[in-house]
Amino acid sequence: MPTKLGKHTLRLDSAPSVLSFAAVASKKEGEGPLGQKFDILNEDTSFGQQSWEKAESQMQKLCASKALEKANLSPDSVDFMFAGDLLNQCIGSNYGLRDLSIPFLGLYGACSTMAESLALSSMFLEGGLANVCLAVTSSHFCSAERQFRFPLEYGGTRTPTSQWTVTGSGSAVVGKNTAPPYVKAVCVGTIEDLGIKDLNNMGAAMAPAAAKTIETFFEDTCTGADNYDLILTGDLGQVGTDLLHQLLARDGVTLGHKHNDCGLIIYDRQNQLDINAGGSGCGCSAVVLCADVLPKLRTGELHDVLFIATGALMSPTSVQQGESIPGIAHLVYLSSEPGRKGVL
């Protein structure tokens, strides 16, 4: 059973393993720094489908199937599947994964969904409720723009604070402790809201939640940035990253060079058009984690990583009604060893 640490952190004493992982992306992501690391890279955003929503579902299907294939597991071997996306009623996941016939728990954590699904999968393993779980999420630039902002045909100008929604999917198979990466702890975030209402400034809306979760985890575990090789936030982008450091500095917390953000990793902001403040979307943190970070934990290039995926919990309706944008951030502590001294 998990051991409760402090306010919101659960130490997973059995340290479940991430047995396999996969990342699927499209052309724009392939042109970025991680282009050679994706398991499947499609040359356009259609994925052979007739709508963007169907393309996103196809991405999830491909990604989940690839992760299972890499683990040499069939869908029948999976006890529970945790998945979600940005679309209404999570249709990207519902339609994409329905043919797998795995017991399904749909999630809406917005861009925090990769951390949420991975945390819940690991907690089910730790609690003895499952032997194998599957965590999946995705986003698609075109489907997200249609739902949250305006049709692409409108030709609207993107603001400097806006972020480019990643067309990508990430999935991870979680099982009993066998090999790295290991999930050693999770910290469930609280909803934070500083009153941001700008739909084109997601980084500012999510930064307070990231700051709160990081501070809470450090307090709960009596650790700090120096205990970890990498502290990786979800998709704050440049604006949100700057604000995160300001909020933490106000409380005397410094991350220094240990911090990076998935929204700043996924694209080359200097040479790729329209990236502006960085990447975003459920697929942003998912593909960075599954294509770049988990492989480095497996080989021992990284040893201790805090993965903090952030989400903006608004809907088109709430924004039209003048509501502010609440944020959430969930933390998963990943390690190359099940019991490294000096951390947990």
What confidence tens digit (pLDDT) does each residue in 252-286 have?
Answer: 999 999 999 999 999 988 888 677 778 888 999 99
Q: Which of 214, 243, 281, 259 is nearest to 45 (CA)?
A: 281
Alpha-carbon separation of residue 310 from 26, 34, 277, 328, 341 (angstroms): 22, 21, 15, 6, 28
| Model confidence at 339: pLDDT above 90 | no
- Give mean pLDDT, residues 11-18: 96
What confidence tens digit (pLDDT) does each residue in 30-41 have?
Answer: 999 999 999 999
In the chain, % of residues over pLDDT 90: 68
What confidence tens digit (pLDDT) does each residue in 67-122 have?
Answer: 999 999 999 999 999 999 988 888 889 999 999 999 999 999 989 999 999 999 99
Domains defined along the chain, listed by start: 17-175 (3.40.47.40), 182-335 (3.40.47.40)
Alpha-carbon separation of residue 127 from 11, 20, 71, 80 (angstroms): 11, 21, 22, 13
Q: Which of 276, 275, 263 is nearest to 232 (CA)?
A: 263
Phi, psi of 75 (to 5 degrees): -55, -30
Q: How far apart are CA 210 and CA 254, in angstroms?
A: 13
Q: Which of 145, 132, 211, 134 is nearest to 177 (CA)?
A: 132
Q: What pLDDT, on a 0 to 100 scale, did the predictor assign at position 154?
A: 46
Q: What pLDDT, on a 0 to 100 scale, did the predictor assign at position 338?
A: 84
Q: How far apart are CA 327 and CA 311, in angstroms?
A: 6
Q: What pLDDT, on a 0 to 100 scale, did the predictor assign at position 275?
A: 79
Q: What pLDDT, on a 0 to 100 scale, did the predictor assign at position 160?
A: 63
| Model confidence at 174: pLDDT above 60 | yes
| Model confidence at 324: pLDDT above 70 | yes
- Give mean pLDDT, residues 19-25: 97
What confidence tens digit (pLDDT) does each residue in 114-145 have?
Answer: 999 999 999 999 999 999 999 999 988 877 67
Look over the chain and give the mean of its residue pLDDT values, rounded to a whole number. Answer: 90
Q: What pLDDT, on a 0 to 100 scale, did the predictor assign at position 220?
A: 97
